[in-house]
Amino acid sequence: MLGVILDADSLGNDVDLSPITSLLDEWQVYPFTRPEDVADRIANADIVLSNKIRLEESNLGHADQLKFVSVIATGTNNIDFPAMAERGVVVSNARGYGTPSVVQHTLTMILMLSTNLHRYLSDVASGKWQKSDAFCLLHHPVQEVAGKKLGIVGYGELGKAVAAAVEALGMSVVVSERPGVEPRTGRLAFDDVLNTADYVSLHCPLTEDNEHMINKETLGLMKPGAHLINTARGGLVHSVDLVAALKEGVIAGAAIDVLDREPPPADDPLLEPLSNLIVTPHNAWGAIESRTRLIMQTRENIEGFLNGEPVRVVENS
């Protein structure tokens, strides 16, 4: 059997792929695959692994041997499920592998925003501290997170883990219901969370219903001193509206790990250098331990398929 990995570089160059590649006699491992090359590369494959490369009707036409696809991620919006179903191809994904890494990154963003750490690091690098008459610099606001309120939008495994972590720092947590939905017990209406939270952290999937849920109108509901954190999906936030809100002081700051297009074009609005905006390159999930768990889950997916008992099967997106 032939296995093909379409975008191995998305896993980093410091992970061991042998738990996967030892399962089949032949593998073709590509660092990255352009859309126009997908059809040729999967034409003779029995098993295909893809992180973000799209597998759809337009490139599946000659993949007559394809039997199994394992997405090396949780999100499966790069998979054409009707086309897979028509061909009898089983699709699996990975789940929960990156929770500790994303929680760690979310906490880092909250703490950086609360202490203005990024600004102080820049001041040291530019020599401002060295030229100061005082022994310390305190010209950027610093506040404690203890006693502050975190609003969580998306209360699955990640949201719950973030809640537990910030409570250890003395923060209180309010959980948002989906926008426009009557709140369940223990949750608040989305607008009420925006109105009351000092920090709002997004941990929900991107759907047709919540695209650009953070926009000019909803940003206007947030407290002027509030901060937004997004380690979920770029499409949840209207980039132009967020930049405008940061410039106009509608909210105090934002920390963003995900953009609409990745890698982003040079003119992406969120790449404009703003002192109250932190942008990281979609690496919240990227701890080596997280990526190692991802490899092991992918191995389990392949083993399950080969043994006739597929696991983590995704029926539709």
Residues annotated as catalytic are 233, 262, 282
At 130 the three-state DSSP class reads: coil
**Which strands sit side by side in the sheet containing 227-230, from one edge to the other?**
172-175, 149-153, 199-202, 227-230, 253-256, 277-279
Q: Please tell me the distance from the alpha carbon of residue 317 to that of residue 310, in angstroms, as a whole number.
A: 18
The identity of residue 165, as a single letter, is A
Comparing CA positions, the residue from 261, 253, 268 lying closest to residue 235 is 261
Comparing CA positions, the residue from 88, 63, 72 lying closest to residue 2 is 63
C-alpha distance from residue 93 to each of 51, 102, 176, 178, 202 (Å): 9, 18, 27, 25, 22
Q: Please tell me the distance from the alpha carbon of residue 222 to that of residue 197, in angstroms, as a whole number.
A: 8
Comparing CA positions, the residue from 39, 33, 38 lying closest to residue 10 is 33
Structure tokens at 218: 């909803």
Q: Please tell me the distance from the alpha carbon of residue 312 to that of residue 317, in angstroms, as a whole number.
A: 13
The identity of residue 84, as a single letter, is M
Number of neighbouring beta carbons within 10 Å of residue 192: 16
Pairing of strands 227-230, 253-256: parallel
Comparing CA positions, the residue from 28, 18, 19 lying closest to residue 49 is 28
Strand segments (E) across 112-248 = 149-153, 172-175, 199-202, 227-230
Q: Is the peptide bond before 263 cis (omega within 30 degrees of 0)?
A: yes
